[in-house]
Structure 1
Amino acid sequence: GYGCVSVQRRGNWSAVARGHSRYLWAAEHYLGHNLYGRYLAHGSLQILTAPPGQTVTPATSGWQQEGFDWNRIPGVTSIHLPLDLLKANVLNVDTFSGMEEMLYSDEAFAGGLSQQKMNGNFGMKLHEHDKYNGTHRARKSFHFIGGMIVCLGSDIENSHTEYPTETTIFQLAVTDQAAHDYWKKEAGGGKVWMDHLGTGYYVPVAARFEKNFPQYSRMQDTGKETKGDWVSLIIDHGKAPKAGSYEYAILPGTDRKTMTAFAKKPAYSVLQRDRNAHIIESPSDGITSYVLFETPRSVLPGGLLQRTDTSCLAMVRKESADKVLLTIAQPDLALYRGPSDEAFDKDGKRIERSIYSRPWIGNESGEIPVTVTLKGKWNVVETPFCKVLSKDKKQTVLRFLCKDGASYEVELEK
């Protein structure tokens, strides 16, 4: 919770989702360090992988610095800028800090849920700082179920008319002869994509493949030009998008046959994808995954979980005919409550301020109660963090006390 990170591990791969919020900054820049990494936590999803039995490294996962397009960090929704415009303008903003840039969002909702350390989800309200492109917003979620990662985006918008907004599905270095030979034949297409590292992608929306041999970039520390051979798959939302969206799923460590079957009959369905919520269901796993960006105003789709009285993350797993596992997390760390503590200039733009100037940085995470209404009558063993408020034949109402961005779970029995 305190890293605004979710990690899913299976076999010889892991998937790392990362965001930022009003408590955790989007990237850390210094003079001569990370000059182009502005989008590192704009809802990134890094797949780290290697063939079975081999050690996983950045290189085995398709990364090198030479030629890497810093706009296209996998998973992020970003405005694709020339590198000169992407470069951090590192300043000494106040007496509390040195020469550095650590920009915040004004949104509190960003973080993940873990159900029994097996499955989980991650969601964030993306809002870039006004120092660069303050109109850039999106609602993003990742749902980690078994060996599948479902990636959803909605409400993508900004007023940037000069350069396009993209969501990057993958950007991979093509470094050896086998990989070059693979991409000579493989241009993908349709809904199924397989990369040369054994990761499969199901993309039911329009996507664009790029093969840049070579692709030019810059060193993160010196700005010196670099080049390398790269392939990318991106979703192009156009310039100044309004209500942009996306959907795709990733299956690391798979094969084409499995992906072709998956595309014909995906193992999930999207129940809701809008400003209020991203909800998916995986019937074969008995799992429904909820990222509730706003307090629901009507009964939620998916059956058991009907309402919550605040934004939160939830996961429901049917264990048997009369047993269900319910997990709730409130990603808001609540280091302070109420509106964001941003300061504004005369034009109403957020002013860049250092982390060290904030009065709340030493605060403990505060408790946020989350009241959950379930369909039907359920028996629940109460815990210090979960109390039964009421129950009858129609519904059961529970109250969770959430803090630290942690995940809290209870077993429900009919």
Structure 2
Amino acid sequence: MISLVKRKYIFSGFFCLAFVLISKILPAQIKDICENKVPHGWQAINGNLSISKAHFKAGKESVLWKWNKPNASLIIEDTAFASVAANPRSSFVIWIYSDKPTKSKLLFDFEKNGKKASSFSFNLDFKGWRTAWIMYHRDMSGKPVEGMEKLVVHSFDGSKSGSLYLDQILYNIDINPRSPMRDEQVPFVNIHSEEAANAHWTALYSFTRKANYLPLPKKVSPEENKDLSIIFERYENVLLSSSKFRKYSLPQLQKAYNYWQIKRNGDQITGKMIYSRNDDELFPKNTNKALKGSFEESTIRPYSELMLNIAGVYRISKDVQEKEILAKMFIDMIDNMEDQGWAPGSGMGALHHLGYNFSSYYSACLLMKQVLKEQHRFDKTWKTMYWFSGLGRTQPKIGNPADFNIDVFNTLLGSMLSTILMMDQSPDKVRHMYEFSNWLSQATMPTYSIDGTFKPDGSVVHHGTLYPAYGIGGFQGITPVIYCISKTLFHIAPAGQESLKKVLLTMHYYTNPIYWPVDVSGRHPTKSGKVPEEVFAYMALAGTPDGKQDIDKEMAGIYLDIIKNPKDKWAKKFEEQGVKPAPYPQGHWDINYGLLDIHRRGDWLLTVRGHNRYFVANESYPGANMYGRYSRYGQLDVTYPQTKKDDGAAFKDKGWDWNNIPGTTTLHQPLNKLRANIVNADDYSGVEEMLLSDEIFAGGTNFNQWQGMFAMILHGNDKYAMGSFYAHKSYFMFDSLIVCLGSNISNSIQDYSTNTTLFQNYLSNKNAPFYVNGESGTSFPYARKWNNAQGLTIIDSRNIGYYIPSQENVEFTRQEQISRDQTDNKDTRGDIGMLVFHHGSAPQNQSYEYAMVIETNVTAMQKFKEKMQSAYPVYKVLRKDALAHTVYYAPKHITATALFTSNLSNNDSMIIGNNRPCLLMYQRTDDSLCMSVTDPDLAFYTGPDDSPILPNGKRKEVSIYSRSWYKTAAKASVIILTIKGRWKMTASQSEAKTKILANGTTQLSIPCKYGLASKVALLEVDK
């Protein structure tokens, strides 16, 4: 949600603000003077002004402007207009009520000394309330000038008489430029918003202007008629399957209904103002919490949720009298909301995040379809549903990812389907259903930019990065729809369903079994991300993508693995089909569209997260992840299946030091220095922080989906004076062994120490045992330092062993820590165990090496140490510098390397040269060579970093959404390796190519794309 930005208020411009509680709670100068008397400075030419109780947007009255001659005008004089020219975000807001639609317009002229400077027109073809949020500089004709003193509103249609009601006029308010929305009254407003990141909310006007319908069928076939009925029945069952409606009694619903103060007077209706959620942008910055609480209660969200509850109780009720009362309440609410502007063609000023706040409305109307027909409200209600759901986006032409993303799946997909299902069986309904199915088929296919939703590596992306916290809402929205239309003529394309299934499987890989680790939690590190069980059930019920199986047993098996209630109706159905709970996933996966690597064995999950110039280092909002600057500086998480006794996580926001995130190399600063300084960076973003590096190299690869590695070049951001902060980091994941390397750790910052954190564990039991060089301890507090550790072993409270072959300045502590919670609302305390390498202040070319052994014990760790100090160690670090990090894993004869630069002179046993930086793993056995190669550069753009540079030479903070490459697809590349010996491709390989050179080496060309690992198998050519 867009947070409030700093706004300048010209208090004299609040003449008709009229929020119900403002006059009671806020300073006296902000009050509704559309009550009791006509505002000072208002004058009607060829007409008159009065206060009326007939209609009001807020308060109990509005200004009635009546005219009885042609060329009538309303003149408003105020000093508030004088300063609008100085602020590029200055905006004008007004609400207008019309008793009947006309083809006429109003013309608003802003003048200085009788000369027009800025103007806009407002269409009057509506009945009810309508609004406009107009930015002076961007949306109006002409240009505002300093010293404007007058607004002249013209009725220029030539009619001899007319009347309008006016309320809530704000002469000069600072509004987020992303918010104002074009509609039927002001189609010229913010026209470029349809190309913006929030276009799925704000492009409703454009969605109604598409005219690329599929051909209209001549008639509805028997098969189509049958399938439409099946889909309707399934979807209604989905809506009514919840038992929540049974908990509401008629008195409870009546009490909630009475809150809205809906009253009828003949054919007129009035009620409490129903705010758009974006109306909070019109509040002063420091609005009293009591007022904001009342505002939340009066938005369209609780209003539409009440409509759904009334509809649900109506549908399950057997009491005829109760149903009559509920039906009347529902119709009153329909009429009242439409009168207040929630009607076809109305943009309500701004509707950012519309789907979240209005989603209940469509389901409610579908459940009350028969009542709406009986009360002659069906046609207009359907048009309202069509407008606000943006159903027009499904018409052919598509190809714009802005038409579909995770927000659409989450909050609008069911709304769109409800709108179609509302229709009676007809050729037009059939056409809409085919358009919807075709659109959804495309919407579920992978996209290749960081915009869009599903990616070729199985990641679910939002805000330009892997973001399962948003993904789960999208899955909850899309999977019931996929099920409802499955096995009908309107089933989505198999490729689309396969793509969605891959994304769900990938999420299953990085959850254990239903919660994901903190490094993929986005801006909510303290909220345990949880997989919704039902999404796997719906995908199972939809059948396999190829249509050969009625139940997708792979999806059903995952459902049985994660459900709380093993005896529910779906579980019984799946078990009857012979489905068994799926085992824990095992293997290694790379998600380079989110710079996440996943490594699993047994019941544990290990993940590593990084960032680069394409994928952000953190996402922080006011009050969310305020200390998360280092969250993707190489964070390494190990999680176990959650239980009631121990959630298995290393993280709890209790005394947690945000400087010491496991796996990261960071500058250890006081919290007041680490706290995010969150700003509205530009017109493309809200108030948020999403920082990028200027380094390209970050990503992972895998060998046969079983072993893997991840590496990155870390560079601090200039925003926090960390432009000199560099490190090369790598993680090699072999079975239960993790080898972590760092090199070239350098910066010029003298004030604070640079650290690498091996672990920071919250201790639910502060006396839990630990082991140092095999010796047990339970002391608390405990602190020990090694100035020159050699062959040090430590087993932490989670039975993870750490082996440190050689390292200066190592510190192990177990103590109570005092910190600050991630929302920055309170101090926290907690018992913490921590192991840290101190690199000192302003380090130059420092390095580290350590190994982790997951699920170990004292005996096993001692044997590992002995093996490492023998002539045949478990692993060898072959190189660790700015050119490459290379490790050899002896048990599987695998060499893994991160080649940070191109054309380097390599001392590797196989790799002589490379044309591009890359990640590769290979295994040589006798006369064969198996290899996987990944280009970590997704190449959304090429050349130098595109960050704007300030006069002082520092990179400027700008929104990721402002980047010209944000919607550009990743580009393929070819990695060319020169390898020792003479090699040829096996018969199964077709994409890669080999060329044996005269000097007895082989040139290997390997196509790479989308951050995926390219597999190569070679045979040695006889000499």
Partner of 1:273: 880
**Structure 1 contact 209–231 (Cα < 8 Å) conserved:** no
**Aligned-partner Cα distance in 1 for 2:595–2:643:** 26
Residues 1:203 and 2:810 are matched in the alignment? no
Residues 1:309 and 2:903 are matched in the alignment? no
Alignment of 1:168-317 (within 5 A): 168-176=757-765, 179=768, 183-184=778-779, 191-204=792-805, 205-266=807-868, 267-301=874-908, 303-317=909-923
**Aligned-partner Cα distance in 1 for 2:644–2:725:** 34
Once the 2 structures are TM-superposed, how far is the Cα of residue 392 of structure 1 from its aligned partner?
6.2
Once the 2 structures are TM-superposed, how far is the Cα of residue 5 of structure 1 from its aligned partner?
1.1
**Structure 1 contact 268–280 (Cα < 8 Å) conserved:** yes
**Aligned-partner Cα distance in 2 for 1:58–1:214:** 19
Once the 2 structures are TM-superposed, how far is the Cα of residue 373 of structure 1 from its aligned partner?
1.2
**Aligned-partner Cα distance in 2 for 1:77–1:407:** 27
Residues 129, 43 of structure 1: alpha-carbon distance in 2 compared, 3 angstrom cutoff: same
**Aligned-partner Cα distance in 2 for 1:206–1:222:** 34
**Structure 1 contact 370–402 (Cα < 8 Å) conserved:** yes
Residues 1:350 and 2:955 are matched in the alignment? yes
Structure with more strand by fraction: 1
Aligned-pair identity in percent equals: 38
Once the 2 structures are TM-superposed, how far is the Cα of residue 57 of structure 1 from its aligned partner?
10
Whichever residue aligns with residue 1010 of structure 2, its letter is D
**Structure 2 contact 769–797 (Cα < 8 Å) conserved:** no
Q: Residue 864 of structure 2 aligns to a residue in which SS? A: helix
Q: Show CA shifts across 1:85-118 (max 9, x none).
A: 1000000010000000000000111000011110
Instruction: Note the residue ranges of structure 1 that are not aligned, 5 or more in a row.
Output: none
**Aligned-partner Cα distance in 2 for 1:398–1:409:** 12
**Structure 2 contact 637–650 (Cα < 8 Å) conserved:** no
Which deviates more, 388-397 or 40-49? 388-397
Which deviates more, 163-172 or 275-284? 275-284
Once the 2 structures are TM-superposed, how far is the Cα of residue 317 of structure 1 from its aligned partner?
1.4
Partner of 1:30: 621
**Aligned-partner Cα distance in 1 for 2:712–2:650:** 26
Which deviates more, 390-399 or 72-81? 390-399
Which deviates more, 291-300 or 57-66? 57-66
Partner of 1:14: 605
Residues 195, 335 of structure 1: alpha-carbon distance in 2 compared, 3 angstrom cutoff: same
Which deviates more, 208-217 or 368-377? 208-217
Partner of 1:329: 934
Partner of 1:155: 744
Whichever residue aligns with residue 901 of structure 2, its letter is E
Once the 2 structures are TM-superposed, how far is the Cα of residue 28 of structure 1 from its aligned partner?
0.1
Q: Residue 131 of structure 1 aligns to a residue in which SS? A: helix
Counting matched residue pairs gives: 409
Whichever residue aligns with residue 278 of structure 1, its letter is H
**Structure 1 contact 48–56 (Cα < 8 Å) conserved:** no
Greater radius of gyration (CA)? 2
Residue from 714, 717, 721 that aligns with 1:126: 714
Residues 171, 183 of structure 1: alpha-carbon distance in 2 compared, 3 angstrom cutoff: farther
Q: Residue 203 of structure 1 aligns to a residue in which SS? A: strand
Whichever residue aligns with residue 829 of structure 2, its letter is K
Residues 56, 136 of structure 1: alpha-carbon distance in 2 compared, 3 angstrom cutoff: farther
TM value normalised by structure 2: 0.39
The runs of at least 4 aligned residues of structure 1 exceeding 4 Å deviation read: 54-58, 185-190
Partner of 2:651: 63
**Structure 2 contact 978–1004 (Cα < 8 Å) conserved:** yes
**Aligned-partner Cα distance in 1 for 2:877–2:936:** 22
Once the 2 structures are TM-superposed, how far is the Cα of residue 265 of structure 1 from its aligned partner?
2.2
Which deviates more, 214-223 or 284-293? 214-223
Partner of 1:396: 1002
**Structure 1 contact 377–392 (Cα < 8 Å) conserved:** no
**Structure 1 contact 373–395 (Cα < 8 Å) conserved:** yes
Which deviates more, 259-268 or 90-99? 259-268
Once the 2 structures are TM-superposed, how far is the Cα of residue 389 of structure 1 from its aligned partner?
3.1
Quote the RMSD (CA, aligned, Å): 2.0
Whichever residue aligns with residue 280 of structure 1, its letter is V
Partner of 2:636: 45
**Aligned-partner Cα distance in 1 for 2:810–2:635:** 19
Once the 2 structures are TM-superposed, how far is the Cα of residue 203 of structure 1 from its aligned partner?
0.9
Partner of 2:753: 164
Residues 153, 344 of structure 1: alpha-carbon distance in 2 compared, 3 angstrom cutoff: same
Structure with more helix by fraction: 2
Partner of 2:697: 109
**Aligned-partner Cα distance in 1 for 2:849–2:995:** 37
Which deviates more, 371-380 or 239-248? 371-380
Q: Residue 373 of structure 1 aligns to a residue in which SS? A: strand
**Aligned-partner Cα distance in 2 for 1:298–1:157:** 24
Residues 344, 143 of structure 1: alpha-carbon distance in 2 compared, 3 angstrom cutoff: same
Instruction: Note the residue ranges of structure 2 that are not aligned, 5 or more in a row.
Output: 1-591, 771-776, 869-873
Q: Show CA shifts across 1:217-251 (max 9, x none).
A: 11101331000000110110000111011000001
Q: Which has the higher contact order (CA 8 A, sep 6+)?
A: 1
**Aligned-partner Cα distance in 2 for 1:77–1:32:** 25
**Structure 1 contact 61–197 (Cα < 8 Å) conserved:** no
Residue from 666, 680, 687 that aligns with 1:78: 666
**Structure 1 contact 276–296 (Cα < 8 Å) conserved:** no
**Aligned-partner Cα distance in 2 for 1:70–1:160:** 19
Residues 192, 277 of structure 1: alpha-carbon distance in 2 compared, 3 angstrom cutoff: same
Whichever residue aligns with residue 46 of structure 1, its letter is D
Q: Residue 719 of structure 2 aligns to a residue in which SS? A: coil
Once the 2 structures are TM-superposed, how far is the Cα of residue 380 of structure 1 from its aligned partner?
0.9
Once the 2 structures are TM-superposed, how far is the Cα of residue 412 of structure 1 from its aligned partner?
1.5
**Structure 1 contact 202–248 (Cα < 8 Å) conserved:** yes
Once the 2 structures are TM-superposed, how far is the Cα of residue 16 of structure 1 from its aligned partner?
0.8
Partner of 2:1014: 408
